[in-house]
Structure formats: structure tokens, C-alpha cells
Amino acid sequence: MTGGPDVVSAIVASARAAIAAAKGSARDVVAAGCAAPGPLDHETGVVHEAPNIPGLRDFPLAERLREALAIDAVYVDRDTAMAAVAEAVTGAARGVADFVYVTISTGLGGAIVSGGRMLRGVTNTAGEIGHWPVGLEGPRCGCGSYGCAESFAAGRNLAEAYGVPDAAQVYAAAAARDATAEWLVTRAERALANLAIGLVNVLNPSLIVVGGSIAEHEPARTLDAMRRGIAERAFAVPRDAVSVVPAGLGRDVGMLGAAIAARERASGRGEWFL
């Protein structure tokens, strides 16, 4: 996909197929949720910039989807925020007031819940932890900066650095003791450890919930690396209060979160994550 119109076309095709499979029509849909990469404004549904989707900049995604689907209420939020909603309502963070959701997949991102509320910030862009600088140097990130956690540990960047199409190949090569792959994966582990230490020291959560395809398939090189970093270098008091746990809802967590968020926002019950 190369920009907003392509994204809209793909989402509309998927939504129409789902409605048809349910033997319904757009008239039967009260509200729809859409999980999208950020940074974005969840109140207006405008995607400010999506580093991993070229051309998606300052794009009114919610408005375009409302028009194309003929559904009055379409709510857009960051994919990681939607995942955090799902994990909070029915997953690993159920009943937890202070947690950070982290996804380690094609990209690296997250969402922050503090005191039972999603942390949004003054411009509604808080939670972009993939672009937390964890190194003074490093490869250029898709956001244009350098030293970002995503630039070291995201699957897309690992694969690109090793010259293969999929990060799974990098981890496989590292397991086979390929020196370059081992160096890249070890560097990713250190970046994740630094990120985790920062999250613990700055935010003092009780849980760090880690999801995404890489975390799911490589927990020893992701979750364990974060746990070791926290144990070795985080402040003692917040260190002793936090647990790093795998996400509970699998690869459909963003879709589930979008459905829950649409239901809650349409019914006026979504104040905690707005």
C-alpha cells in the first residue's frame, strides 16, 4: 500500500466481506472501529504520520471510512491503543490500573494506562514508545530520527539490516550461530532492555504486557531480555512492583480492541481510554 486511498480500499473490502459473511448490511452496523498505525488523533480520526506506510500523512481516515462504508460512527485509534483496550477489558491486564502495552512485531509500539486511564498527552500522541530513544547512535528510524527502540528491535528493521524479507530468518540464523544475525539480535535485546528500564523508572507500572508476532515466537529474546534489564538496572522500588507478562489475546488483539472500543465509544462508556 502506498497511501491513504489504498489503505481505505483495503479496509473497505475487508469490512464489506465481514458484513456479508454475517449476512448483514451497513445499515445493521451501529459503529465500527479501526486500528491504525500512528501517530494519530483518536478524537478526529486523522492519521498524522505512519512511518511504515509511505504516503499516509495527515490523512482523515475515520472520515473517509465513514463515507465509503456509509456507517455514521467510525472510530479510529492507534493499533497499540486498541490492543491495550482489549487486554485491559478481557486480557492479561484485566483489572490492572497501571500498565504498559508493548508490541514487538513489524514495528514496535505501545500504549500507557496510568491510574486507570489511557495516557494521551496534549496532542493525543502519547504512547509512541517505539520511538523512545534508547541509543545515542544507531540506524535511521522510519520516523526520521535515530536511536529509537524500533530502529533496533522491530521486525522490519531487523530483516532489512540482515538483508532478508522476514525477521524470523534473522532469529533462525542467530540460533544457528551466524555472527551477523547474533549481533543484530543481541543489539535488539539490549534496546528492548533499555526501553523496559525506562518504562519502569519513569512510569512505575505494575505490568508490562508484551504482544506482537516476534514476542510471541521469540519470548527468550524479547520478554526475557526486558526482564533481565529491569532486574539488573531499574530502580529497586518500581522494579519489585512490576511484572513483564505475555499478552493474552494473540494476533487478533487489535481487531478485538477495535470492536470493543467502537462499542464503548458509541455507548458513551469509553471515557477511560479517551
- Report d(CA 129, CA 112) in Å as an integer: 9
Summary mean pLDDT of the chain: 94
The pLDDT of residue 45 = 94
Q: What is the CATH number of domain 4-80+252-273?
A: 3.30.420.40
Which one, of 251, 273, 268, lies nearest residue 31 by Cα? 268
- Please enumerate in sequence order all residues whose Cβ is within 8 A of that of 96, keeping only pairs 6 or more positions apart, or say none: 88, 113, 206, 207
The pLDDT of residue 139 = 87
- Report d(CA 232, CA 131) in Å as an integer: 23
The pLDDT of residue 25 = 87
pTM, two decimals, is 0.92
Instruction: Return the CATH number of 92-248, one of 3.30.420.340, 3.65.10.10, 3.30.420.40, 3.40.50.720.
Output: 3.30.420.40
Confidence of residue 52 (pLDDT cuts 50, 70, 90): confident
The 8-class DSSP code of residue 115 comes to T
Q: Across-strand partners of 75? A: 33
- Domain spans of the chain, in order of start: 4-80+252-273, 92-248
pLDDT tens track for 75-105: 999 999 999 999 999 999 999 999 999 999 9
Same fold, 4-80+252-273 and 92-248: yes
